[in-house]
Amino acid sequence: MDRNDTIIALASGAGRAGIAVVRISGPACRFVLETISGRVTKPRRLELCTLRDPGSREMLDEALVAFFPSPNSFTGEDVAELHVHGGRAVVAAVLGALVVIPGCRLAEAGEFSRRALLNGKMDLSTVEGLGDLIDAETEMQRRQAMRQMQGDLREAVERWRTTLIEASAFVEAELDFADEGDVPHGLRERATGLLTSVADELRREIARARNGERIRSGLTVVIAGPPNAGKSTLLNALARRDVAIVSDIPGTTRDSIEVHWDLAGVPVTLVDTAGLRESQDPIEQEGVRRARDRARTADVILSLRPFDSPTEHLRDAPGAVIIPIRTKIDLATEHSDIGAQADELQLSATTSEGIEALVAKLEAVAKDVVADGGLVTRERHREAFVGALTLLERAISAGPDHPGEFFAEDIRLAMRYLGRVTGTVDVEDVLDRLFAGFCIGK
User: Is 81 a known ligand-binding residue?
Assistant: yes
User: Is 395 a known ligand-binding residue?
Assistant: no
DSSP label at 269? E
The length of the chain is 442
User: Is 163 a known ligand-binding residue?
Assistant: no
User: Is 327 a known ligand-binding residue?
Assistant: no
User: Is 86 a known ligand-binding residue?
Assistant: no
User: Is 229 a known ligand-binding residue?
Assistant: yes
User: Is 297 a known ligand-binding residue?
Assistant: no
User: Is 35 a known ligand-binding residue?
Assistant: no
Cα dist. 87→61, 90, 120, 250 in Å?
11, 5, 35, 51
User: Is 274 a known ligand-binding residue?
Assistant: yes
Centre a 10 Å sphere on the Cβ of residue 133 and count the other Cβ atoms it contains.
Answer: 16
Q: Is the Cβ–Cβ distance between 191 and 168 less than 8 Å?
A: yes
SS3 content of the chain, % helix, strand, coil (to 5): 45, 20, 40
Cα dist. 124→102, 385, 411 in Å?
31, 15, 22
User: Is 253 a known ligand-binding residue?
Assistant: yes
- Helices 187-207 and 379-397, interaxial angle, to 10°? 150
User: Is 232 a known ligand-binding residue?
Assistant: yes
User: Is 249 a known ligand-binding residue?
Assistant: yes
Task: Tell me how far apart the 2 most distant CA atoms of the chain are, in Å.
Answer: 92
User: Is 230 a known ligand-binding residue?
Assistant: yes
Long-range contacts of 271-275 (CB under 8 A, 24+ apart): 271/220, 271/221, 271/222, 271/223, 271/298, 272/223, 272/231, 272/232, 272/234, 272/235, 272/243, 272/244, 273/222, 273/223, 273/224, 273/231, 275/225, 275/226, 275/227, 275/228, 275/229, 275/231, 275/250, 275/251
User: Is 119 a known ligand-binding residue?
Assistant: no
**Which is it for strands 6-10 and 47-52: parallel, antiparallel or unpaired?**
unpaired
Centre a 10 Å sphere on the Cβ of residue 40 and count the other Cβ atoms it contains.
Answer: 18
User: Is 103 a known ligand-binding residue?
Assistant: no
User: Is 442 a known ligand-binding residue?
Assistant: yes
User: Is 319 a known ligand-binding residue?
Assistant: no
User: Is 275 a known ligand-binding residue?
Assistant: yes
User: Is 294 a known ligand-binding residue?
Assistant: no
The verdict on whether omega for the bond into residue 400 sits within 30 degrees of 0, i.e. cis, is no
Cα dist. 265→87, 136, 141, 152, 198 in Å?
34, 10, 8, 21, 32
* Residues of each annotated binding site: 23, 81, 121, 228-233, 247-253, 272-275, 442
* Residues of each annotated binding site for (6S)-5-formyl-5,6,7,8-tetrahydrofolate: 23, 81, 121, 442
* Residues of each annotated binding site for Mg(2+): 232, 253
* Residues of each annotated binding site for K(+): 228, 247, 249, 252
* Residues of each annotated binding site for GTP: 228-233, 247-253, 272-275
